[in-house]
Amino acid sequence: MKKQWYYSDFFVIIIIQFLIELGLIFINFDLLSAYNSIKKQYNIISTINPLALIYKNTLNLVSAGLFLDFILLILTLSAFILAVRFKDNIFNNNNYLENAALTDSLTGLYNRRYFDSFYENIFAQSYRYDIPHSLIMCDIDYFKKINDTYGHDKGDIVLKEVSDVLKNNIRKSDIAVRFGGEEFIVCLPSTDIANAVDVARKIKQMISKIRTKDIKKVTVSMGVAFYKKEFGNESKDMLKHLDNLLYEAKNRGRNRIISGDHQGNIIEVEENPWADE
């Protein structure tokens, strides 16, 4: 949206510049007509006439101004034509640079830099207006072993496949993030724990169906956290809690979902305990 405003402002400036140059051309033409009238009226022909030198210098200035106005007018029109001609290229390049700064180049998911700013806004809304939100953190099990056994190329394929599952199983209002290495976060605004667990279970099931050459099965460990008033306005406390839940999932043997209930107890999720709430 900001780029569109800049682009509109550029066109406004071009049009104003065009009108100014056009106006100056008409003024200079009028001046030339006026000096021609003066020349006839006072018979400024002979160089002996004392007005001849003044007339000649003034005429030269007006002619030079008129020539400069024509050049500027042509440049203004050229800038306008080029801006229209390459509008799409300009926007595409800007979008590419912006996306490159906010997304992970391998998976196409948002990166941690984008998540930090996005999540601060989501957390602030929950704190101020008591709007629920949930987070899912997942980590690919034994990913180092995959890289060591099959090579980093195979590891990259697994990362892409997992990322595709995340992208294809969330809403437009949600975001999936490559948080670092083989670790991912899904942020679910306006989502309670019951719905977040449903999303986590679906993602876990879809990831278990990934099949690549040489790698028979891919599993993930997951932590699911929801906003509670106990976190206050400290988003880092909720992220730390989420990280602890993921650690607990890995500590219990991996390939499982760990969440916390409303009483603060850590529970392993098989069936959704909040499905009927």
Query: Catalytic site residue 182?
Result: yes
C-alpha 227 chain-centroid distance: 26
Could you tell me which residues come within 8 angstroms of residue 156 by beta carbon, excluding any fewer than 6 positions away?
A: 106
Name residue, tokens 């099931």.
205
Question: Taking the alpha carbons of 203, 204, 210, 215 in that order, is the dihedral positive or negative?
Answer: positive
Hey, what are 96's tokens? 């590419």
Distance of CA 238 to the CA centre of its chain: 25
Catalytic residue chosen out of the listed positions 21, 98, 120, 182: 182
Q: Per-residue DSSP letters for the chain?
A: -HHHHHHHHHHHHHHHHHHHHHHHHHHHHHHHHHHHHHHHHHTTTSTTSHHHHHHHHHHHHHHHHHHHHHHHHHHHHHHHHHHHHTHHHHHHHHHHHHHHHHB-TTT-SB-HHHHHHHHHHHHHHHHHH---EEEEEEEETTHHHHHHHH-HHHHHHHHHHHHHHHHHTS-TT-EEEEEETTEEEEEEET--HHHHHHHHHHHHHHHTT--BTTB----EEEEEEE--GGGTT-HHHHHHHHHHHHHHHHHTTSSSEEEE-TTS-EEEESS-TTTT-
Active site residues: 182
